[in-house]
Amino acid sequence: MSGYETYRRFQRIEDQAKVLGFRIGNPKHGGFGRDNYDAVGVFPGEGDSLPVFSRDAELFVGTFREVEVWLSGWARAQQYDMLLRISDEKRRKKAEAKELERQRLEKERIEKRKMFAALSDLSDKDVEKLIK
């Protein structure tokens, strides 16, 4: 039954990660030289969760136990911030919305630059002057 217990443990870790806005996956960089090391990676979740991080950023790599401890630490850090009234869900959502809007404007600016460059024979410096 150890295989089933391992699977159930993985499901619990995955559920906890999903609640915190992460996803669990195969690490990109392995176990950093440890032998017989079954590593899992923690990545930002899909969608608008954790907009500050790149979608393919590997935030943490470790064994099941290490990932459980890391996720618990993340949750406790959020609880401590709320306890001290440094942040709460409303402030987090507002900050995430602000970051998403900044990223959207940056993508729009890059697209504008590409469009101006494609439609004109201007140099990059001239295109930059037109955009600003």
Q: What is the pLDDT of residues 4-44, one digit of tens each?
A: 888 899 999 999 999 888 989 888 876 555 554 678 888 88
- Domain residue limits, the chain: 1-87, 88-132
Q: Which has more confidence, 93 or 31?
A: 93
pLDDT for residue 114 is more than 70:
yes
- Nearest Cα residue to 16 out of 68, 56, 54, 87: 68
pTM above 0.75, yes or no: no
